[in-house]
Amino acid sequence: MQGNGTHPARLLVALLGAALAVLLLPAQASAHTEFDGSSPTDGAVVAAPLDRVVVSFTEPATASGDGIVLFDADGARVEASLEGDETDFVLVPVTPLGPGTYGVAWEVRAGDAHPIDGTFSFVVSPTATGGPETPSTDGSPTGTAPPASLDEALDASGTSAWAGSVRAVSRVLVTAGAMLALGGLAALLTCIRGSEADLRAVLTWVRAAGATVAVGGALRLWVLTTTMPGLAEVREAPLATASVLRVAGGIALVLGLPTTSLLGGRRGRRGATTHADHRWTRGWPSVLGFLGAGLVLIAFWFDGHTASVGPVALHVGINAVHVAAGAAWSGGVLVIAALLWRRHRRGEGEDGAWLVARFSRLAGAALAAVVLAGVALAVVILDSPSELWSTAWGLLLLVKTAVVAVAAALGALMHLRLRPALMRDPDDQALAVRVRRSFAAESAAFVAVIALTAWLVGAMT
């Protein structure tokens, strides 16, 4: 290694120092903020007159957008005041509600600024008996379906469609960009050797991934500034912190990984027949890029469903391991698959044996860390194992776990079968084809994992 190189151990110490600084900041994690029910419940028939409607949440929330709005059967807003605390909001109509069908649209922000919204409707009847709510004997609501005009009013309320769409796009951009940027950087540090053109291509992919992260963070920040009431509220939102870190980290990755000063240094490689064995040399110009990677990693501590539960110090540590290991594994697979196909298209020797051999060590360690950290996160997040199959978030987690298992099986096939065969006969073209296809299949699995991860980050249990 050259004298001006940045040793990976120094980078690790720097990242651990940054993590320690964040851990020492005063913070308090909150549990999941979810809709906890209403009175009247959705579809209930209640006795007239009705002088209040209660909307409850599991944890403190803040009304946002239109807040909590009451509509009559014609879809017209009913004048009402909003009272109560942060978990139980009480709508008090100026005039008690008489017979008719009514609906409520609610929109609130959770403690981490994630918006949640929903609607429900009920019937006020002069003939209802047996208390304030009268469900049918089979437990289903006895009220008739809301009028079309009321349905239209409820559908038009809540978070605007454009904001929800932009949030979804930003989550995909951030997750995919972070996995590819961090994983590509890890692969460059540990296992990718080749021609200067190869290394320049991989660095270009990493920089493009950094730009993707920055764009995703900027989109999310834009949504926050346009949907929250003021800049003071935006500054206090953890999601805003995550977005700023992603914008800064992504830009640092784009600007902090120059190719001209970081490429060079020929090293001997056993069995090399087709490629100059250049490796990426980490000099001082790359410090900005490493800082950007650290900011992108740290941003996940302030974002997502998982970042709002459990002791802060414990969760930050587990989450950092999970994201870093997952990126090293998935991003590394994607980058190496792209590199092998690039060499194949250019008619160059693919050098799959040595590339697979070097990456197998990284992938094995990353897989072990992903499994251990994933189990620990599930223990922190879920109140009981039954939530894995009784909640939408738990079911989504099971689907993601199944896809990860498929990727792990493909990786095991690579490590146990294809790698030894390649080491025995590096020039076997049939094996080279199998290696490319195996990496392509594993990459496809990880594309699905990235999409599911983006969904999980924004999902509520």
Quick: pLDDT tens for 307-350: 455 566 677 778 888 889 888 888 888 888 888 888 878 776 65
Q: How far apart are CA 426 and CA 353, in angstroms?
A: 6
Neighbours of 261 (CB within 10 A): 12
Residue 61, classed as helix, strand or coil, is coil
73 close to 150: Cβ distance less than 8 angstroms: yes
Phi, psi of 315 (to 5 degrees): -65, -40
Burial 136-173 (b: 16+ CB within 10 A, else e): eeeeebbbeebbeebbebbeebbbeeebeebbebbbbb
Q: How far apart are CA 384 and CA 387, in angstroms?
A: 6
β-strands 62-71, 45-47 pairing: unpaired
Q: Which two tokens stand for residue 413?
A: 């096939």
Round the CA-based radius of gyration of the chain to a whole number and report it. 27
Q: How far apart are CA 84 and CA 123, in angstroms?
A: 23
Q: Where are the domains of the chain?
A: 35-155, 164-458
320 close to 19: Cβ distance less than 8 angstroms: yes
State the pLDDT at residue 128. Answer: 55
Q: How far apart are CA 131 and CA 74, in angstroms?
A: 27
Q: CB-based contacts of 107: which residues, under 8 Å, 6+ apart?
A: 63, 64, 65, 66, 67, 68, 115, 116, 117, 157, 158, 159
301 close to 307: Cβ distance less than 8 angstroms: yes
319 close to 298: Cβ distance less than 8 angstroms: no
Q: What strands, in cross-sheet order, belong to the sheet with 45-47? A: 45-47, 115-125, 100-109, 62-71
Q: Which two tokens stand for residue 255?
A: 């600007």
70 close to 78: Cβ distance less than 8 angstroms: yes
Q: Which two tokens stand for residue 9?
A: 């151990």
Neighbours of 323 (CB within 10 A): 24
State the pLDDT at residue 6. Answer: 39
Alpha helices in 267-307 (DSSP H): 287-299
State the pLDDT at residue 439. Answer: 80
**Which residue in the block uniquely carries the two structure tokens 């990235």?**
450
State the pLDDT at residue 116. Answer: 76
> What is the domain class of 35-155 according to CATH?
mainly beta
Q: For residue 89, what are the CA distances in angstroms to 63, 96, 185, 430?
A: 9, 17, 48, 66
State the pLDDT at residue 147. Answer: 61
Q: Which of 361, 333, 336 is nearest to 350 (CA)?
A: 336
Q: Which of 27, 63, 55, 30 is nearest to 228 (CA)?
A: 63
Phi, psi of 136 (to 5 degrees): -75, 170
Torsion from C-alpha of 356, 357, 363, 365, nearest 10 degrees = 180
pTM value is 0.68
Q: Amino acid identity, residue 251? A: I
Residue pLDDT tens, the chain, 461 long: 333 333 444 444 444 444 344 333 333 333 456 788 898 988 889 988 899 999 988 777 777 767 788 999 888 889 988 887 778 899 999 999 999 999 998 888 766 556 777 889 999 988 754 444 444 333 334 445 556 677 777 776 655 556 777 888 888 899 899 999 999 999 888 888 877 788 888 999 999 999 999 999 999 888 888 766 556 666 667 788 889 999 999 999 999 887 654 444 444 444 444 445 677 776 677 889 999 999 999 998 887 554 455 566 677 778 888 889 888 888 888 888 888 888 878 776 656 667 777 787 788 888 888 888 888 877 777 777 777 777 776 787 788 888 888 888 887 887 778 777 777 777 777 777 777 788 888 878 878 877 777 676 655 43
Phi, psi of 211 (to 5 degrees): -65, -35
Q: CB-based contacts of 265: which residues, under 8 Å, 6+ apart?
A: 2, 278, 279, 281
Q: How far apart are CA 56 and CA 187, in angstroms?
A: 48
Q: Which two tokens stand for residue 250?
A: 């992504």
> What is the domain class of 164-458 according to CATH?
mainly alpha
57 close to 36: Cβ distance less than 8 angstroms: yes
Q: How far apart are CA 300 and CA 426, in angstroms?
A: 40
List, in sequence order, every beta strand (DSSP E) within 181-272. Answer: 263-266
298 close to 18: Cβ distance less than 8 angstroms: yes
State the pLDDT at residue 350. Answer: 56
Q: Amino acid identity, residue 24? A: L
State the pLDDT at residue 145. Answer: 55
